[in-house]
């Protein structure tokens, strides 16, 4: 795209109207707010729904399998961003892709609201995986589209957007979680569907006036003959996959366990391919190659970080349900409410961190050092979970304070790593691949959860001390190594801080 057309897009968006930011930020903020509300609301219930006995309204899936499914699901949700990015880039443009994604997500939640057992679960997962892949990276891309490259409001725009994500994630467990756990799981999932519906309505009503041309164009459209080829391949691929499923599922060749292995392998192969293709591309120059090398340890660090952070809705959710004393001050807590702690701490602490980085100015830690703090605090969030079992064994219920502490630590890590992660990806990815930046960053989360699918099975109260100790310890150790190698990594970045 020429800079001329970029100007045209920026000029078409009313440049004020939402806290001194482009009016479109209002639309995107609330679309993403409701989408995350539905996603994190559903996730706050899903593990419990899966492993609760059928007689108590759940699906009666074995514990370890249920946890693996949580991780695989999370992985695929972020992996599918690659497809969503491609469709917006070459076929539909971001705005239309977001809309279609929202519709699929809403349908996914509606299906889970029906009492239709495991079949409904898998259909719903499929719809939400594809839907989120279409919606999430593209909403973020449109945010970026509304600001001119010189506009210094851009970072703060993304911070406001990030608040929207976390506000949705914060209130969802109190609404979706409470309805699901106090009344009925399906009613809870239905509430998630209503959330996504409200997001879609918001998007439709305000889109025209506030987004202008942002996200309406197809940046790199497929030529007519390419279209034919791509659709042909797509149809062929779909048929092959359906045939394979039709053969392997009923014959018992493709089990959940084997599917889990398959996704775990993809979680390693896809980023490896990304790096190889970018590194070997003739469009990547020497400086960019060096920066790519510097990006590899950061990507691995992000993976380890997300592996721990994403276990908040799996291992810590199980911990809240089975190991935690939920009656405090004469009140009974719902285990799903603990999922609000991460976003709550993000909302409370993000402004403090942002202020701290601004205040430190040039003296603030380099990107790789910030990543090493991320690893350190993520590790600490697991190490602290050793204490209750160590003090009192695993047969008594423990105070909720441990989970609060654990979520607090992981959020301190998240604030060191996540907000800088995407911008580091933008700066370190070769410019010929800039359209894939968002997918590449989400891939660090997808790969983390693909690996989690194998790890989370190993947790039981009996293995608790070892489980938290080893994973937490590895993260801290990697943090120390990253900290010590950060001058070297920075030198490979060739001028990028």
Smallest distance from ligand ASP to CB 493, Å: 25
DSSP for 164-184, please give it. Answer: HHHHHHHHHIIIIIHIIIII-
Which helix (H) or strand (E) element contains residue 43?
helix 24-51
Which helix (H) or strand (E) element contains residue 429?
none
Smallest distance from ligand ASP to CB 400, Å: 17
Smallest distance from ligand ASP to CB 36, Å: 7
Smallest distance from ligand GLU to CB 342, Å: 8
Q: Which is nearer to ligand ASP, 297 or 419 (CB)?
A: 419
The span from the CA of 59 to the CA of 125, in Å, is: 15
Give the list of residues 6+ apart from residue 51 with CB closer than 8 angstroms, or none. 58, 59, 60, 61, 62, 63, 66
338 interface partner picked from ligand GLU, ligand ASP, none, CB below 5 to 8 A per type: none
Enumerate binding residues for ligand GLU (CB under 6 A). 36, 165, 306, 418, 442, 445
86 interface partner picked from ligand GLU, ligand ASP, none, CB below 5 to 8 A per type: none
346 interface partner picked from ligand ASP, ligand GLU, none, CB below 5 to 8 A per type: ligand ASP
Q: Which is nearer to ligand ASP, 164 or 388 (CB)?
A: 164
Which helix (H) or strand (E) element contains residue 281?
none
Smallest distance from ligand ASP to CB 432, Å: 29
318 interface partner picked from ligand GLU, ligand ASP, none, CB below 5 to 8 A per type: none
Smallest distance from ligand GLU to CB 262, Å: 22
The span from the CA of 172 to the CA of 191, in Å, is: 9
Q: Nearest residue by C-beta to ligand GLU?
A: 445
| Ramachandran region, residue 19 (left: φ > 0; alpha: ψ -120 to 50; beta: rest) | left
**Both structure tokens of 411:** 């959020």
**Both structure tokens of 250:** 């009923």
Smallest distance from ligand GLU to CB 379, Å: 18
Q: Which is nearer to ligand ASP, 101 or 343 (CB)?
A: 343
Determine the 3-state secondary structure of 324 from DSSP. Answer: strand
81 interface partner picked from ligand ASP, ligand GLU, none, CB below 5 to 8 A per type: none
Q: How far is CA 207 from CA 8, 158, 218, 238, in A?
A: 17, 18, 17, 33
Q: Which is nearer to ligand ASP, 40 or 86 (CB)?
A: 40
- Other CB atoms within 10 A of residue 122 CB: 14
345 interface partner picked from ligand ASP, ligand GLU, none, CB below 5 to 8 A per type: none
**Both structure tokens of 465:** 């001390």
372 interface partner picked from ligand GLU, ligand ASP, none, CB below 5 to 8 A per type: none
Q: Which is nearer to ligand ASP, 311 or 486 (CB)?
A: 311
Smallest distance from ligand GLU to CB 296, Å: 18
Smallest distance from ligand GLU to CB 309, Å: 8
Smallest distance from ligand ASP to CB 159, Å: 11
- Other CB atoms within 10 A of residue 491 CB: 11
Q: Which is nearer to ligand ASP, 41 or 93 (CB)?
A: 41
| Ramachandran region, residue 60 (left: φ > 0; alpha: ψ -120 to 50; beta: rest) | left
The span from the CA of 115 to the CA of 314, in Å, is: 23
Smallest distance from ligand ASP to CB 299, Å: 18
462 burial via Cβ count (<10 Å: 0-12, 13-18, 19+) = exposed
Q: Which is nearer to ligand GLU, 170 or 306 (CB)?
A: 306
Q: Which is nearer to ligand GLU, 418 or 475 (CB)?
A: 418
Q: Which is nearer to ligand GLU, 69 or 302 (CB)?
A: 302
The span from the CA of 61 to the CA of 106, in Å, is: 24
Smallest distance from ligand GLU to CB 213, Å: 25
The span from the CA of 174 to the CA of 7, in Å, is: 43
Q: Which is nearer to ligand GLU, 104 or 417 (CB)?
A: 417
**Both structure tokens of 348:** 């409370």
Dihedral (CA of 178, 182, 185, 188) sign = negative
Q: Which is nearer to ligand GLU, 10 or 169 (CB)?
A: 169
Enumerate binding residues for ligand ASP (CB under 6 A). 40, 165-166, 169, 342-343, 346, 414
442 interface partner picked from ligand GLU, ligand ASP, none, CB below 5 to 8 A per type: ligand GLU
Q: Nearest residue by C-beta to ligand ASP?
A: 169
Helices 24-51 and 315-322: angle between axes, nearest 10 degrees: 60
**Both structure tokens of 54:** 């059928």
Determine the 3-state secondary structure of 355 from DSSP. Answer: helix
445 interface partner picked from ligand GLU, ligand ASP, none, CB below 5 to 8 A per type: ligand GLU
Q: Which is nearer to ligand GLU, 371 or 442 (CB)?
A: 442
164 burial via Cβ count (<10 Å: 0-12, 13-18, 19+) = buried
């Amino acid at each position: 795209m020429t800079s001329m057309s970029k100007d045209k897009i920026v000029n078409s968006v009313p440049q004020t109207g939402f806290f001194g930011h482009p009016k479109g930020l209002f639309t995107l903020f609330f679309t993403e707010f409701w989408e995350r509300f539905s996603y994190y609301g559903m996730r706050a219930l899903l593990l419990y729904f899966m492993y609760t006995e059928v007689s108590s309204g759940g699906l009666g899936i074995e514990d370890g399998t249920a946890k693996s499914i949580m991780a695989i699901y999370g992985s695929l949700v972020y992996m599918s961003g690659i497809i969503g990015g491609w469709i917006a880039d070459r076929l539909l443009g971001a705005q239309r892709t977001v809309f279609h994604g929202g519709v699929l997500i809403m349908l996914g939640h509606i299906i889970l609201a029906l009492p239709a057992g495991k079949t409904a679960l898998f259909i719903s997962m499929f719809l939400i995986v594809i839907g989120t892949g279409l919606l999430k990276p593209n909403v973020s891309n449109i945010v970026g589209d509304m600001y001119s490259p010189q506009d210094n409001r851009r970072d703060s725009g993304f911070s406001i957007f990030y608040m929207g994500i976390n506000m949705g994630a914060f209130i969802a467990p109190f609404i979706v979680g409470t309805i699901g756990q106090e009344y009925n799981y399906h009613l809870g999932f239905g509430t998630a569907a209503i959330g996504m519906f409200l997001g879609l309505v918001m998007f439709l009503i305000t889109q025209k006036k506030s987004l202008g041309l942002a996200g309406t164009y197809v940046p790199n459209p497929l030529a007519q003959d390419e279209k034919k080829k791509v659709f042909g391949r797509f149809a062929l691929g779909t048929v092959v996959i359906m045939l394979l499923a039709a053969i392997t599922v009923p014959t018992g060749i493709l089990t959940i366990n084997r599917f889990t292995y398959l996704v775990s392998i993809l979680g390693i192969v896809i980023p490896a391919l990304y790096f190889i293709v970018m590194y070997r591309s003739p469009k990547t120059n020497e400086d960019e190659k060096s920066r790519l090398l510097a990006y590899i340890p950061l990507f691995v660090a992000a993976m380890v970080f997300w592996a721990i952070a994403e276990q908040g809705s799996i291992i810590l959710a199980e911990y809240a349900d089975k190991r935690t004393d939920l009656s405090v001050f004469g009140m009974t807590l719902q285990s799903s409410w603990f999922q609000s702690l991460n976003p709550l701490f993000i909302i409370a602490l993000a402004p403090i961190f942002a202020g701290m980085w601004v205040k430190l100015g040039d003296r603030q830690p380099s990107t790789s050092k910030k990543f090493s703090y991320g690893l350190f605090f993520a590790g600490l969030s697991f190490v602290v979970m050793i204490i209750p079992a160590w003090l009192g064994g695993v047969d008594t219920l423990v105070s909720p304070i441990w989970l609060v502490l654990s979520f607090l630590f992981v959020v301190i890590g998240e604030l060191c790593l996540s907000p800088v992660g995407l911008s580091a990806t933008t700066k370190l990815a070769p410019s010929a691949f800039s359209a894939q930046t968002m997918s590449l960053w989400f891939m660090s989360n997808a790969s983390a959860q693909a690996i989690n699918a194998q790890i989370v099975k190993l947790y039981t109260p009996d293995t608790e001390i070892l489980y938290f100790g080893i994973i937490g310890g590895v993260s801290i150790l990697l943090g120390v190594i990253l900290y010590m190698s950060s001058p070297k990594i920075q030198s490979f970045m060739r001028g990028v801080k």
